[in-house]
């Protein structure tokens, strides 16, 4: 049978209808400085550390290099060894050093965060505490308290205590080495 177009009996050409005009909503460009678009970071269920330290603790600092030796009119040596002015708490430096060492030993995901909390009240004077939050579901555990332990933590001991909770059995390398006799 011959094609119907050859016989002049072609079916009508299909009719295409133009779609109705569609309006596309223009999205507002993202403004990285608009606080309403900020998204808080997700908090991990990985362990985290909180280091509380006293920001009130100050002391007189004396550096021998601050000595000024002068000669009096009769050629006597006069030494001016006044102490240097009060120095803001160096416990912040201890806390940041501890934070750095812990992150180097327990990089993410072993530890998700290490938070420094400066405290500045009479009740918190002399405080240097290290807390470990093993998981979100667990309450924080006190790993070190300067007052009850009798001083600042030796990092070797602090790392071992944290390791025993979050990664038991993992070697800390030289921090686990026994002193040679």
Q: For 97-130, give the secondary structure using H, E and C.
A: HHHHHHHHHCCCCCCCEEEEEEECCHHHCCCEEE
Per-residue pLDDT reduced to its tens digit, 77-121: 554 545 445 445 678 889 999 999 999 999 988 998 999 988 888
Taking the C-alpha atoms of residue 75 and residue 52, their distance in angstroms, rounded to an integer, is: 53
Residue that wins the pLDDT comparison between 69 and 176: 176
| Alpha carbon 36 to its chain's center | 24
Tell me the per-residue pLDDT of 21-46, one tens digit each, with 9 for 90 and over. 666 666 677 676 677 776 665 556 77
**Cβ contacts of residue 163 below 8 Å, gap of 6+?**
105, 106, 170, 172
The DSSP 8-state label assigned to residue 151 in this structure reads S
User: Could you give the count of Cα atoms lying within 13 Å of 143 in the half-sphere of its Cβ?
Assistant: 28
Query: pLDDT grade, residue 66 (50/70/90)?
Result: very low
CATH number of the domain at 48-58+88-169, please?
3.40.30.10
Domains of the chain: which residue ranges?
A: 48-58+88-169
pLDDT band at residue 73 using 50, 70 and 90 as cut-offs? low
Average pLDDT of the residues in 46-62: 73
pLDDT band at 65 (very low <50, low <70, confident <90, very high): very low
Strands (E), 59-112: 68-71, 77-80
Q: For residues 135 and 113, give the distance between their C-alpha atoms in angstroms, rounded to a whole number.
A: 12
Percent of the chain with pLDDT over 70: 60
Alpha-carbon gap, residue 154 to 157, rounded angstroms? 5
pTM for the whole structure: 0.60
């Amino acid at each position: 049978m011959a094609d119907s177009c050859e016989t002049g009996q072609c079916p009508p050409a299909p009719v295409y209808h133009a779609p109705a005009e569609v309006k596309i909503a223009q999205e507002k460009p993202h403004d990285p400085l608009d606080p309403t678009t900020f998204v808080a970071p997700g908090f991990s269920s990985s362990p985290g550390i909180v280091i509380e330290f006293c920001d009130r603790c100050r002391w007189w600092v004396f550096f021998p290099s601050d000595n000024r030796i002068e000669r009096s009119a009769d050629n006597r040596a006069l030494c001016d060894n006044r102490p240097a002015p009060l120095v803001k708490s160096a416990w912040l430096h201890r806390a940041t050093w501890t934070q750095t060492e812990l992150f180097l030993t327990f990089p993410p995901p072993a530890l998700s965060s290490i938070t420094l909390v400066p405290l500045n009240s009479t009740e918190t004077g002399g405080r240097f505490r290290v807390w470990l939050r093993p998981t979100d579901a667990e309450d924080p555990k006190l790993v070190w308290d300067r007052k009850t332990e009798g001083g600042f933590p030796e990092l070797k001991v602090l790392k071992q205590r944290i390791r025993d909770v979050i990664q038991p059995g993992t070697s800390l390398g030289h921090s686990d080495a026994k002193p040679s006799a």
